[in-house]
Amino acid sequence: MIHPTAIVDEGARIHESVEIGPYCIVGPHVKIGAGTRVGPHAVLDGRTEIGENNRIFHHASIGAVPQHAKYRGEPTRLVIGSDNILREFVTVHLGTVEDRGITIIGDRNLLMAYAHVAHDCTLEDDVIMANAATLGGHVYVENHAILGGLTGVHQFVRVGRNAMVGGMSGVRLDIPPFVRASDNPAKLYGLNIIGLERAGFSSEEIGRLRKAYRILFQSGELLEDAVAMVRAELSEDSNVMRLVAFLEKSERGFCR
């Protein structure tokens, strides 16, 4: 159902089950999948593809051109998966040709009011961005990560899976998987134990991650030596190896 006050371009491809509220604006290159609901005064623009059963609240701005000085109107994209919740005044921008030309939001993510996802970012699945959390361009956030309210993440930073970043943090370096981080600049405060338990990690899995954390971040060893120690003792644990791989691939450096 499309409210009669909404302005929907004839070129937009909208499933018949989609609900579009009063005074919305939908641009000509927008695609919206079944079951999605769009609240009043939302603006959906650009080459934006939105999957099924999403809830986009009032005054959200989805698919606007990137806030990038070099952007010159190139046909870049935004792809949003299914079952996401984008609350009031959320802003998500298109990609740029300075990167892959696409911004991606996966499935089942919750972006609370005023959250911002800049150009060329990727959110995997089940990510939570609390109120006014902000991602600079080219940020990559892995599954089940949580960003506290008013947290700012610098361009090109990666946030690992099941990590928890406290509110009002300034994230300049990568946040490893499975950890808690907070402050400005952000630093580590141990494993995200509660988050891991809620995600179904066993006590044995958490115990091995605890051991790896102590070696990697608290032993005082050089990274190369600490990684060698972890590989020697815990190489059969896939979560530990995911943590090690994340650190080894870090280009910006990571929080400690």
> Residues 120, 126, 174, 237: which is the catalytic one?
120
Q: Which of 68, 119, 138, 144 is catalytic?
A: 119
* Bond prior to 176 in cis (omega within 30° of 0): no
Q: Is 137 a catalytic residue?
A: yes
Residue of 137, 148, 152, 195 marked catalytic: 137
Verify whether residue 125 is a known catalytic residue. no
Whether 119 sits among the annotated catalytic residues: the reply is yes
Supply 50's token pair.
């939105």
Contact 38, 56 (CB under 8 A): yes
3-state secondary structure 193-237: HHHHHHCCCCHHHHHHHHHHHHHHHHCCCCHHHHHHHHHHHHCCC
The residues assigned a catalytic role are: 119-120, 137
